[in-house]
Amino acid sequence: MIDAISTAILTATCWDVIVVGGGNAALCAAIEAGEAGARVLLLEGAPKPYRGGNSRHTRNFRCMHSRPMSVLTDAYEEDEYFQDLMLVTKGQTDEKLARLAIRTSEMNLPWMEKHGVRFQPSLSGTLSLSRTNAFFLGGGKALVNAYYNRAADLGVTVVYEAKVAHVAIMDGSFQAVEAEIGGERVVIEGKAVVLASGGFQADIEWLARAWGPAARNFLIRGTPYNRGEVLRDMLDGGAESVGDPTQCHCVAIDGRAPKYDGGIVTRLDCVPFSVVVNNEGARFYDEGEDVWPKRYAIWGRLVAAQPDQVAYAIIDTKSADLFMPSVYPPETADSIEGLAEKLGLPAAPVVETIEAFNAACRPGTFHPTELDGLATHGLSPAKTNWARPIDTPPYHGYMLRPGVTFTYLGLKVDETARVSGQAGRYSNVWAAGEIMAGSILGQGYLAGFGMTIGTVFGRIAGREAAAHVA
């Protein structure tokens, strides 16, 4: 689908900046380039109703600030932010790029508001994020729509269902993209290109080559249009890679979610208040290791390592209102035996696990939104926070499966978002968002940080590309 431009004009024009992708990072790049006076073409692989990539499923932006700002409370300084990132990545990050993203986030929030993004205070179930993350009013879809409106005001040309298959580079310089549009293969020339087309998570065969056969049981909670064609083409053409193909943003989601595009509503936030067992009825990890925004992204990998890539979270009625409501209602029963049967689990091992957990719990003060040290004693694995007996019916249970949002294998960039080739930096190729996030996210994830990376490097890439053309 082409908005207000023919294929003939599209291919006859040598564009100043071509942006490949249609999500947050791509839009930030297009807006910056457009505001600098560049003639910008944005190629979005999805149909218009599904534009925005994974950004339409997001809900917040992690932001450094030295004092209360907009909807953010207190302060969240650079060093604390960076230490939070180091915790989840276990040190696998490019510190220069990470600190650049962190420092720049503070000035980006006002920029986002200036460009039509609206924020709201944290809601019940997300209060632990009120200091660190600004939530979008209307969610990621509203953010995406605001940016598309701004891009239209700037005269950015947008083409939907534009499947870019090849980025033509000669002697280290970008020449053109080859794309399929309306069933026709076209070549579109440009003076600079920004690649913001995401990871390869929607290509299940690629996932399976990296992870093994278990990956075929994964659910893809993000867009089905991020299949990594541009990433693969660039790597095949000599671009320098960064990141591990087995590392990704992989969270524990409702096992009843669709194979693709379930989005953020399929995530389950009950784990810190639950006992999690595999399909043999055994616990396998500390459910209370840290506050959920810092640790939720490890649970996809943990579940992926269990038999059949499935697990089950069990809570009682005391905890039923302590987290964001699930889109699908839980299974419920008045006994643990009854709940196990409804979940398809062997009742005796589940009952034994819950009884052992309850016996290991100790008295203490329970604080659902902060680390409370309410831990089990003599249990392996221990539960180190929020350990309260599962003893108040009705009991609730959820099936968990790995839900992949985006992969971390990507293109290596520098502080200007310029892409590196094996023979040195390309002269006019930049990248932003998930396609380069592996430079900063070696493993793990920090809630809202993907939007930070996309916004910061999208804006940098757009400015740099426009300056190159000028």
pLDDT in tens, 41-67: 999 999 999 999 999 999 999 999 999
Within 320-405, residue ranges assigned H as helices are 336-343, 347-360
Predicted confidence (pLDDT) at residue 3 exceeds the cutoff of 70: no
What are 221's two structure tokens? Answer: 């909670």
**Conformation bin of residue 238: beta by default, left when phi > 0, alpha when psi is -120 to 50:** left
Cis peptide upstream of residue 272 (ω within 30 degrees of 0): no
Distance CA 152, CA 21 (A): 16
What's the predicted TM-score (pTM) here?
0.90
pLDDT score, position 424: 84
Where residue 1 falls among pLDDT bands split at 50, 70, 90?
very low
What integer pLDDT is reported at residue 124 of this predicted model?
61
Residue 4 has pLDDT above 60, yes or no: no
Q: Which residue has the higher pLDDT, 6 or 307?
A: 307
Q: Is the pLDDT of residue 138 over 60?
A: yes
Q: Which of 396, 452, 446, 386 is nearest to 129 (CA)?
A: 446
Percent of the chain exceeding pLDDT 70 equals 97
Cα–Cα distance for residue pair 164/178, rounded to 1 Å: 6
Torsions phi, psi for 135 (to 5 deg): -90, 140
Distance CA 103, CA 31 (A): 21
Q: Which amino acid is at 55?
A: S
* Mean local confidence (pLDDT), 257-284: 94
User: pLDDT tens-digit profile of 316-325?
Assistant: 999 999 988 8
Residue 414 φ then ψ, to 5°: -105, -170
pLDDT(202) > 60: yes
pLDDT value at residue 297:
77
Q: What share of the chain is helix, strand, coil (3-state, %, to 5)?
A: 35, 25, 40
pLDDT at 337 over 50: yes
Q: How far apart are alpha carbons 470 and 464 in whole angstroms?
A: 10
Whether residue 264 is predicted with pLDDT greater than 90 in this model: the reply is no
When mean pLDDT is compared across 117-126, 277-286, 434-443, the lowest value belongs to 117-126
Look at residue 293 and tell me whether its pLDDT is greater than 80. no
What pLDDT is recorded for position 294?
65
Average pLDDT of the segment spanning 100-107: 98
Is the pLDDT assigned to residue 404 strictly greater than 70? yes
Is the C-alpha dihedral spanning 133, 299, 240, 178 positive or negative? negative
Quick one: pLDDT at residue 122?
A: 84
Residue 218's pLDDT band, with cuts at 50, 70 and 90, is very high
Q: pLDDT class for 7, splitting at 50, 70, 90?
A: confident
Report the length, in residues, of the chain: 470
Mean pLDDT of the chain: 94
Beta strand spans in 228-274 (E): 241-242, 248-254
